[in-house]
Amino acid sequence: MSTRRRPRYLLGVRALALACSVHVVLAALGAAQSPFPADEDVRLEEVDKAFTVSGRVRVPRTASIEALRAISIRGVGDDATLEISGTLNWRAATGGNIELRDVWLEITPECKEITLANCSFRGKGGIRASKNGPSRAKITLEKVEADVGCAVTIEATAGTLLMDGCFLDGPLVVRGVRRSDTVESNLTFAMYGSSGKEQNRVRGLLGGLTIEGVKDGTIRGCDVAGPLALFADNRKLFLDGDNLRAKRVEFRNSASGGFGGIKITKTDFRPEKLVLVSPPQEKSTERLTFDACYFNGLEDLATLRAQMLEDAENSQSAALAVLRDVRAQPHGLAGVEK
């Protein structure tokens, strides 16, 4: 066995390489553990590229937090929450993506405005309403993605919601909350272009959808899947060029005249059940018109009621479906056929 010693310069090189490796690892760990700066106006990329949230962290009403480059925010422990009372403007405008992993954004009644663009929610978490009450904020979500373990819930007495090109694998709930016993919600919303394929992956609103109690809303060019798509007690609602393939699609109204503001056109329906619900009435019905729609290849009302549709003709409901210009072929305006 050789007992020759290695030259000292080789030992020095190895020691230097090891020291550099340790330095790189420690630097990465340090970046990953930067606490989220929530108590002042700040541009996140000027502080760091990676942040953590532990427990509940409040963004006060006076704070405005921006992010214009790719960053990551990671939750530590259970129920890591950013409680938003101030203003968020996160865009990743220079490229890349803003990733939130295992983090909730909680919108308080004090919140002014939230803009998220090119943001992804991973793991668990998402957006939810505050226990302190509903929102009145202006909310813009553009190219926002969410894993199946994440949820997006907007509850508001007023304000606006704009969603453009968002892909959510978990449930989406947009709920207008009454301002008082006699005053309804003034929440308005619009959803556009949540459909298509990326890298052979079907994209859309795939975890179910609930739209309830809104003043005015539009859903155009969206692919809606999941266990349930529910549209309940909305004063005005326009569905145009969508693909509704949730297992159950339900239009519900708890008071007479509730379907008068609903317009449905050029939409492909592929549910197992299409259900219209309205309180029974002795001498009248509530009509809901479907204009130029596709019903999974079914073209007449008798067959549609036998296989898919529940309305006043075959259930304890006063809601009656009216079909105009039923299409034998799908429009295909919102993503994949199935």
- What is residue 198's predicted lDDT score, i.e. its pLDDT? 86
Residue spans of the chain under pLDDT 70: 1-33, 256-257, 336-338
- What is residue 81's predicted lDDT score, i.e. its pLDDT? 97
* Torsion angles phi and psi, residue 21, rounded to 5: -60, -45
Which single residue is written with the structure tokens 């990326």? 198
- What is residue 2's predicted lDDT score, i.e. its pLDDT? 47
- What is residue 7's predicted lDDT score, i.e. its pLDDT? 55
pLDDT tens track for 97-121: 999 999 999 999 999 999 999 999 9
- What is residue 262's predicted lDDT score, i.e. its pLDDT? 96
- What is residue 256's predicted lDDT score, i.e. its pLDDT? 66
**Percent of the chain beyond pLDDT 70?**
89
- What is residue 8's predicted lDDT score, i.e. its pLDDT? 52
